[in-house]
Each structure stands twice: as C-alpha cells, then as structure tokens.
Amino acid sequence: MDIRIPLLPLLLLAAPYARAAAPAPDAEKFVADVEKKLDEAGRRSRFASWVQSTHMTYDTEWLSADASRAYAAAAADLARQARRFDGKPLSPAAARKLLFLKLAVEAPAPPDPAEQQELADIKVWLEGAYSKGRYCKTPDSCLSLDDMEDRFRTSRDPADLLGMWQGWRTVSPPMRAKYQRFVELSNKGARELGFKDTADLWRSGYDMTPAEFSAELDRVWLQLKPLYESLHAYVRRRLADTYGADAIGSDGLIPAHLLGNMWGQEWGNVFPLVKPKGTAEGYDLTERLRAKGVDEKGMVKYGEGFFSSLGIAPLPATFWERSMIVKPAGREVVCHASAWDVEDSQDVRIKMCTRVNSDDFVTVHHELGHNYYQRAYAGQPYLFRGSANDGFHEALGDTIALSITPAYLKQVGLRDSDAGADEDTDLLLRMALERVAFQPFGLLVDKWRWGVFSGEIPPGRYNQAWWDLVRHYQGLKPPVARSEADFDPGAKYHIPANTPYARYFLAQVLQFQFYRALCRQTGHTGPLHRCSFYGNKEAGKKLEAMMAMGSSRPWPDALEALTGERAMDATAILEYFAPLKAWLDEQNKGQSVGWKP
C-alpha cells in the first residue's frame, strides 16, 4: 500500500513553541509565498504523476519526470532559501512550516539544473522499470508481478515458487547502477539543506535525533520480538511438515520463497499449511464476495460504507469519476495500490487494479482510510496537510481493517453468523501471519536504505547487506545463492519508488493503539480481537477530530487526542495476540525457537 498526498513531508518535526524575541515579519511573508508556490507546482506534478501511473508511455513518463523535477527543484531551492532564518526568532507556525519545507521532498534535488533533471529522470525510470517488469520463461511465456502474486497465493510446488522467486529478481539488476547514482544525487541535495545525507533527512522528522529514532524503533521491535519468534518457530515446523525437513534446513531459518509472498513479508497465504490441525477449512470471504456478485466498485462501496457508519460524510462524486478501480485493458499502469490527494485535499482518488478477493477487500478499506484522512485535514494550511507523522497515515487505514471482524462481516451481510470461540485461534493466527510476520520486514527495508544513504553499506555490498538484515530480523534465507550481480532490494517496489518504509512499521504499532482506544470508546468488553467499532458515531467523532489536526501539532498531541496516550508502544499488539501467544508457546514445547542472527 502507498499514499500520494500534496508532495508534503508526512514526517513530523517539533517546532520551537516559545521564543524570547519577536518573530521576524519577513519570515511570515516568505512562508506564505512558499505555500503558494508549492501548492501550484505540486498540483502540476500530481496531475502529471497520476497520468503517468495510470497510462504509462514514453510521453507520460517524460511529462511526469519534468513536473517532478520542477517541483523538486522549487522545493529544494525554497528550502535552501529558508536556511537564512535558521536561529532567527520565528512564530511557532512559521518555525514548524520551515522545518516541514526542508523535508518536502524525499529525494531532494541538487542545485545544478542538469543534476536536477538527471535525478528526476532516474526516479521515473526506476519506477517504470519495476512496473513494466516481467518474468519470461520463454519469449512467448511471460508473467507480470500480479500474475506471480496470484500464483504465490495458492501454489504449493516448490519448483514453481522458486522459478517465480528467481524470475522476478531478474527485473532488478539493471536498476543497480542507476540506483547508486540516485543515492549520490539525493545525498547531494540533502547536504545542501543542511543534512548529513538523505538518511539523516528521513529520520529528522520524529521529534528526536536520527540516532534516537533508530533506537526507538529497536525498542519497540524488542517488545514484539518474542511474539514474532514464537510465530516463526511454529510456521517453520509446519512448513517442514509439508515440504520436508531437508527443504527447510537445520539452521533455524525459513527459505524465503515458501511463505506465500514474493518478499516473505506477509505469510497469510500459507495459512492452509499451518492452520491448527483438525480444524475445518474455515470461512472464505473471497468465495462469499463472488457468490454475492460483488464487483470491483462494490468492494470500494463496502469501504465507503464503513466510514459512513461512523457518521463521516461519503466520498465526493469526483472520487468515483476519477479513481482507477479496475485495471484498464490495453495499456501499462502502476498496479501498486495507492491513495491520492491530487488537488487541495478535495480531489481524492484511489489507484488499484482491484480484484474481488479477501486481500483486496482489506486493501480497499486501508486505502480509503488515507482518502478520508486527506479530506479531513483539507482546512489546514498547505504545509500542514499531512498526518501527524507518516506512520499515522498508514495506521489509520489499517485501524479500519482491524475492525473487519466476523461481527462486522455479519452486519454488512457477508457472513451469516458471528465467529464462535472455537474460531479464535484460527482468526488470530491468520491475523498474525499478516501483521506480526510483517514487522521485521517493515523495519529492515529502511535499515538497509539508511545504511546505503549514509555510506555504511557501500555499493559493493548492496545485496549482501540486504540478506544480512533479512536473516537478522526476519530469520529468512534466500532459496538459492545470491551475489553482488543481483540487486534484490530493487525487487521490492518501495526501493525503486523511493518510498520511505519505516512508516509501515510505525503504522503496525499505532494501528493497534488506535483500535484499542476506539474499542474502549464503544464500551467493548471481552477479547480485544473481537471488537468492531463499525456504526459507532462517537468513535467516528474522535477519529475525525484527530484526522482534522493534520500535521499542525506534534504527533504525541494527535495520539493523545485519539487514545489518551502520548508514546508509541506495542502493548496493544501484545494484548490483541495474547491468546495466540499462549497457544503458540504450547505448540512449540520441545522445539527450537529462534535462529542464529
């Protein structure tokens, strides 16, 4: 999942809210001019990017690159100009906005026009190379990533899985040299803004130093690690039951191609292989959707209905007129699901190659969470039209997805009865295979990228460093030998698309905090995982109030407004999965848990 907003930083910086001297009036005028200029340049870039993403040709890529270059150059130039106010007395709002300005572009452009154009061209080329990528067994037999992801869901043939796993990774080696140059140019732009490198820039927006932010992520991960290790050990043993002990190995690691996902980042597709023994097949939402004749637009209507049940106004007519909900025939598009704020937080859209299945049912609810958040902060000034921190935007959509419980499905006619207590382990295991299994991957993507931007990971170790991190955090291993002739990080969309990824790790933590708070608002009693706040207008009011703040206040203020808490922590996740953790520990008795990092 992804989000496109008005080319603002989603990161949050703490502004100095008290100054002894009077604010500089020229700074106020400068900020007003900045917002006007960026609004116009950003609108042009977003329209061009939308066309390029939904109709990929040489011409649309050129137009998108040109508009992106113009915006990045303007933002970087204005940010460099803003440095003259460093250390000067500023109003709280102006100080906050100037700090946001420095983070307005995730790959800041250098001052040289030729290098600006080169950077823009590389960005578009990298995303295009990913989106057009195909695995061709023969010239007449090619598979797109969508095709392979569909087969990964159900294939249990290790040779077939290995072929696709290797085949997709033939797309990324040509990216390596361009990515290296991209890093050089982005770092050059970041240094012009006063940062050590792009990694320093990305981590400077969380009201703490970059080093403190990295340490904070590790602190939260250590809270989650015992739960992940219990899940990992159970899944490893059950996969060995299917594929044989020799296929898994004795090193405690899981071969990355056997987890039902191209990147081993979510394991929900192997649930049929690891479900509790002796249980029935369970409820199949995909089959129910298809049996009811739900089409792609109908999937989105269910998502809209959830927000409407909370008392939040429905989506505007333009959403339905301008979104790409179905993959168009006869043209190349970027199918990666994303939510867009194309114009002034009013023209909101989603871009999805929607398929009628349970995965996309959840994805639709997630993406609409972005759109409703975008619309809620429309009344904020341009530079405050973003979420409290970038994890908030992702967490909002996933909070809604957590409320897709059996009770909710029954309320909307997609299930005939509530889930019985005997289904709890199945339900929690399914959820853990998606949410808990994701967390180490959510952490390592940017751990790798921060090392690349800082120079700690040199080009000659790009691939080795990637797999070192996969082993350390995920406990996975490549199914075949890899070398520096490969560029496996580039096989993940967010690397060539230059989309920060730590936000997804944060979102997994924040969403459970949001969810627990909204469930408390409803007066829910009993196990946390059984709560749905669908239809609760008071929960809707709290949600809208938090979203309307945008990025105008520090993120602890926004977190407190919704949850009453001011710090991120994983206790809500541990509470949600407590019954599963006890069950996993029982299943793992006498088994090896963990692996050598």
pLDDT at 107: 87
Residue 529: active-site member: no
Task: State the pLDDT confidence band at 12, using cuts at 50, 70 and 90.
Answer: very low
DSSP 342-395: EETTTEEEEE----SSHHHHHHHHHHHHHHHHHHHTTTS-GGG-S-SSHHHHHH
pLDDT at 2: 58
Give the tokens for residue 373: 């958040």
pLDDT at 47 over 50: yes
Number of residues written out for the chain:
597
Residues above pLDDT 70, as percent of the chain? 94
Give the tokens for residue 208: 């703490």
pLDDT at 10: 34
pLDDT digits (tens, 9 = 90+) for 365-389: 999 999 999 999 999 999 999 999 9
Residue 285: how many other CB atoms lie within 10 Å: 17
SS (H, E, C) 161-227: HHHHHHHHCCCCCCHHHHHHHHHHHHHHHHHHCCCCCHHHHHCCCECCCHHHHHHHHHHHHHHHHHH
The DSSP bridge partners found for residue 255 are 477
d(CA 567, CA 559): 8
Residues 6+ apart with CB under 8 A from 530: 405, 407, 419, 524
**pTM of this structure:** 0.85
Which residue's entry shows tokens 């999965």?
A: 577
Among the listed residues 266, 367, 434, 544, the single catalytic one is 367
One-letter amino acid at 8 equals L
Contact call for residues 399 and 518 (beta carbons, < 8 A) = yes
SS (H, E, C) 419-485: CCHHHHHHHHHHHHHHHHHHHHHHHHHHHHHHHHHHCCCCHHHHHHHHHHHHHHHHCEECCCCCCCC
pLDDT at 19: 38
Closest by CA to 35, choosing from 383, 378, 344, is 383
Among the listed residues 41, 94, 256, 337, the single catalytic one is 337
Q: At what angle do helices 390-402 and 358-376 cross, to 10 degrees?
A: 130
Residue 74: active-site member: no
Residue 504: active-site member: yes
Give the tokens for residue 268: 């929900």
pLDDT at 146 over 90: no
Residue 336: active-site member: yes
Among the listed residues 206, 377, 504, 576, the single catalytic one is 504
SS (H, E, C) 13-25: CCCCCCCCCCCCH
Task: State the pLDDT confidence band at 16, using cuts at 50, 70 and 90.
Answer: very low
Among the listed residues 370, 393, 473, 534, the single catalytic one is 370
Among the listed residues 149, 394, 434, 544, the single catalytic one is 394
Residue 524: active-site member: no
- Quick one: the chain helix, strand, coil %, rounded to 5? 60, 5, 35
Separation in Å, CA 434 to CA 118, 383, 437, 521: 38, 34, 6, 26
The DSSP bridge partners found for residue 206 are 12
Residue 55: active-site member: no
Element housing 260 (H / E): none
Residues 6+ apart with CB under 8 A from 521: 533, 536, 538, 539, 542
pLDDT digits (tens, 9 = 90+) for 473-496: 999 999 999 999 999 999 999 999
Residues 6+ apart with CB under 8 A from 153: 260, 269
Residues 6+ apart with CB under 8 A from 170: 135
- CA 543 remoteness from chain centre: 20
- CA 515 remoteness from chain centre: 18
Among the listed residues 366, 408, 534, 539, the single catalytic one is 366
Residue 472: active-site member: no
Average pLDDT, integer, range 332-359: 91
Among the listed residues 135, 494, 539, 576, the single catalytic one is 494
d(CA 96, CA 203): 16
Give the tokens for residue 139: 């010239």
Task: State the pLDDT confidence band at 11, using cuts at 50, 70 and 90.
Answer: very low
Q: Average pLDDT, whole number, for the chain?
A: 91
Residue 367: active-site member: yes
pLDDT digits (tens, 9 = 90+) for 247-297: 999 999 999 999 999 999 999 999 999 999 877 666 789 999 999 999 999
Pairing of strands 347-351, 338-343: antiparallel
Among the listed residues 257, 336, 393, 529, the single catalytic one is 336
pLDDT at 422: 67
